[in-house]
Amino acid sequence: MEPRLDGEDALDTGTTLTVVGCSGSVPGPDSACSCYLVEADGFRLLLDLGTGAVGPMQRYVAGPDVDSVFVTHAHGDHCHDVWELVYLRARAGTAGRLPVYGPPDVAEKYPDRAEAEKYLALDPVPDKIGPWRVRTAVAEHALENWAVRLDDRLCYTGDTAPCAAVDELASGCRVLLAEAAGFDADRPAYHLTAGDAGRLAARAGVQLLVLTHLRAWHDAAALLAEASAECACPVVLATPGLRVAC
Ligand SMILES: [Zn+2]
């Protein structure tokens, strides 16, 4: 399959990834924190819902129409706006709880646990979410981070240092959505550098690498160059509104 980017015809090829927010750690001037809408067969799954993401999310999906959320870990730049989405859905009179999958400590983030449980269903990850077979891997991060793979289409790292579990999860997937939280020359703890993301893409044999978790104080073009030097596949920077057929 030839990966296609940003084409309207991407919508009818199966699974579509839309970048809602891609800023790492804190929102940037042009992007909310991590949030990725994945759609197929009318099912709408959000991967992460970080700080500020519920705002731009509504450009792509109305709050009551979100079918499920998968949260990689309990850092705010990946889960803060789950609470905002719950509130939005409650105000809209949305019936039923929102299935939110993720490590157990995600539930502890919410200030009013009793209120949250009216709406959130923090369940074990099932074999399938919507139309996709789901696999997860416990990555290496400061908190428990679950990298996730949907069919053979998309693998999302969340936040992780390079590790065998994520290597195995990503192997053979078409599209790799990987964080690029810094540079090889100034390596941040518990994160992938852009170079790490490129090397992971090469080992996994993916067809497209999308770099995300882009921090506002980093030179994005330099991140792209560092990752591109490590793999033969195309590499693109996540940007809000980017659509990728997976
Ligand atoms: Zn994190």
Q: How far is the CA of 141 from the centre of ligand 1 (A)?
A: 7
Q: Hey, is 176 helix, strand or coil?
A: strand
Task: Report strand pairing: 175-179 vs 243-245.
Answer: unpaired
Please check whether residue 209 is in contact with residue 176, taking contact to mean a CB–CB distance below 8 angstroms: yes
Q: What is the pLDDT of residue 5?
A: 46
Mean pLDDT, residues 109-119: 74
- The pTM for the full model equals 0.93
DSSP readout, 7-66? -GGGGGSS-EEEEEE-BSSS-BTTB-BSEEEEEETTEEEEEEE-TTTHHHHTTTS-GGG-
Q: Ligand 1: distance of its center to the CA of 181 in Å? A: 10
99 Cα to the center of ligand 1, angstroms: 21
| Span from the CA of 64 to the centroid of ligand 1 (angstroms) | 27
Please tell me the predicted confidence (pLDDT) of residue 10.
40
- Please list, in sequence order, all residues whose beta carbon lies within 8 angstroms of the beta carbon of residue 108, skipping any fewer than 6 positions away: 74
Quote the mean pLDDT of the chain: 92
Q: Residue 122 pLDDT > 90, yes or no?
A: no
| Burial class of residue 69 (count of CB atoms within 10 Å of its CB; 0-12, 13-18, 19+) | buried
How many angstroms separate the alpha carbon of residue 180 from the centre of ligand 1? 12
pLDDT band at residue 121 under the 50/70/90 scheme: confident
205 burial via Cβ count (<10 Å: 0-12, 13-18, 19+): middle
The pair of structure tokens assigned to 17 is 């990834």
Which tens digit of pLDDT belongs to each residue from 21-42?
Answer: 999 999 999 999 999 999 999 9
Mean pLDDT within 186-211: 97
The pLDDT score that the predictor gives to residue 108 is 80
Element at 169 (helix H, strand E): helix 164-170
Q: What angle do CA 163, 165, 171 make, to 5 degrees?
A: 100
Q: Are 173 and 206 in contact (CB under 8 A)?
A: yes
26 within 8 A of 231, measured Cβ to Cβ: no
| CA 147 to ligand 1 centroid distance, Å | 12
Which residues lie closer than 8 Å to 230 by C-beta, 6 or more apart? 195, 197, 198, 199, 201, 202
